[in-house]
Amino acid sequence: MLANNELIVATANHLSLPIKSKPLKTNPSPRILTTVFNLPLYPRQLRQWRGAVSAQAMEWKDKFNQAGIPTHLFHNHNEESGDIRHRYPLLQFKIIDRQAAITGIGQGADALALWLRLFKNTLLISGRQTTLQVIKQTDTSRRLQRTRKPQHYRMYVWKALNAADMPRWNEDDRLTQRVQLLDEKLHRHLLQLAAALEWNLKPETLKAYMCYLGQTEKLEGYHPGKYLAFSGVFACNLLLPDEVAIGQEVAVGFGRLQALPGKS
């Protein structure tokens, strides 16, 4: 059993050993800062968007250090070795209403807020200086808690299954067995999100299940191998903030969540 100050860390194919972190909280209220810019984007351009913002943040590394905010939040790599930091990204680059957007969570929200203060409305994207304006922003702090009634959420392109999961997916084509696998992955991904939000959520208290599966996509991942991604609706007994994401590669737009209050 994990102690309260140990987090489960997600990797591409497994959960790594627990690492010491901040003490987990019973009902945390993380800051969620989402900013939308007047920059039309296609999904294939999200890595360039993230790379451009990260490169600019690195130019201001001294200012981030002075504020006690690590710049690795922007790119999730060890800045000395270059290795990937296997943890839930607290800065997520995405598309909202066809425009470039960034969501910062907890310390990621503080990092995004500082970048916005330093930002002078121009950004070097793919070798071109681009003028940007903020067109929409939300800055909230929502108390996370379990609920008695199921809460429903829409998910967009949830990268649920990776290459290691595909043998189990393919060996039994019964819908019931496949939905059971997705329910298991959903449970696991929600626990990873809770850990990243410093939420002391006991696995046995989490109830989550798929309600509706829409579009299914087979995608190449940033890491070698193919992934199955799904859009649809799920229910769980958690009150979650909008615009967080679950699954793999959430830093570049996958697995974005939106509450469906009318169904809860």
3 belongs to a structural domain: no
Range of lowest pLDDT (17-21, 48-52, 60-64, 104-108): 17-21
Q: What are phi and psi of 161, to 5 degrees?
A: -120, 135
Q: Which residues pair with 219 in a beta bridge?
A: 227
How does residue 70 score in pLDDT terms, banded at 50, 70 and 90?
very high
CA distance 102 to 85: 19
Q: Of 141, 171, 187, which closes a domain?
A: 141
Kindly state whether residues 205 and 253 are assigned to the same domain.
Answer: yes
Q: What percent of the chain has pLDDT over 70?
A: 83
116 belongs to a structural domain: yes
Task: Give Cα separations from 161 to 89, 210, 245 (angstroms).
Answer: 18, 14, 15
Say if pTM beats, i.e. exceeds, 0.85: no
DSSP symbols for 110-161: HHHHHHHHH--SEEEETTEEEE--EEEEEEEE---EEEEEEEEEEEEEEEEE
Q: What is the mean pLDDT of the chain?
A: 85
CA distance 211 to 151: 11
pLDDT mean over 58-69: 95
| CATH assignment of the domain containing 74 | 3.30.70
133 belongs to a structural domain: yes
Kindly state whether residues 130 and 149 are assigned to the same domain.
Answer: no
pLDDT mean over 30-44: 95
Residue that wins the pLDDT comparison between 142 and 72: 72
45 belongs to a structural domain: yes
Kindly state whether residues 127 and 179 are assigned to the same domain.
Answer: no
pLDDT of residue 80: 65
CA distance 210 to 190: 13
CA distance 70 to 91: 12
Kindly state whether residues 104 and 148 are assigned to the same domain.
Answer: no
Kindly state whether residues 48 and 94 are assigned to the same domain.
Answer: yes
Kindly state whether residues 174 and 233 are assigned to the same domain.
Answer: yes
pLDDT of residue 1: 34
The answer to whether residue 57 scores a pLDDT higher than 70 is yes
Domain that holds residue 101: 31-141
The answer to whether residue 204 scores a pLDDT higher than 60 is yes
12 belongs to a structural domain: no
Q: Of 94, 119, 141, which closes a domain?
A: 141
Kindly state whether residues 98 and 151 are assigned to the same domain.
Answer: no
pLDDT of residue 25: 72
Kindly state whether residues 94 and 76 are assigned to the same domain.
Answer: yes
pLDDT of residue 56: 96
Residues with Cβ within 8 Å of 241's Cβ and at least 6 positions away in sequence, in order, are 30, 32, 140, 142, 144
H helices, E strands: number in the chain: 6, 12
Q: At what angle do helices 46-59 and 107-118 cross, to 10 degrees?
A: 70
Q: Which residues pair with 35 in a beta bridge?
A: 102, 137
pLDDT of residue 2: 36
Burial of residue 220 (CB within 10 Å: 0-12, 13-18, 19+) is: exposed
CA distance 228 to 157: 9
pLDDT of residue 18: 38
Q: Of 141, 173, 201, which closes a domain?
A: 141
Instruction: Match 């490169």 to its residue by tokens.
Output: 55
CA distance 152 to 262: 9
The answer to whether residue 102 scores a pLDDT higher than 80 is yes
208 belongs to a structural domain: yes
Range of lowest pLDDT (16-20, 38-42, 77-81, 95-99): 16-20
Kindly state whether residues 90 and 125 are assigned to the same domain.
Answer: yes
9 belongs to a structural domain: no
**Domains: count for the chain:** 2
The answer to whether residue 195 scores a pLDDT higher than 70 is yes
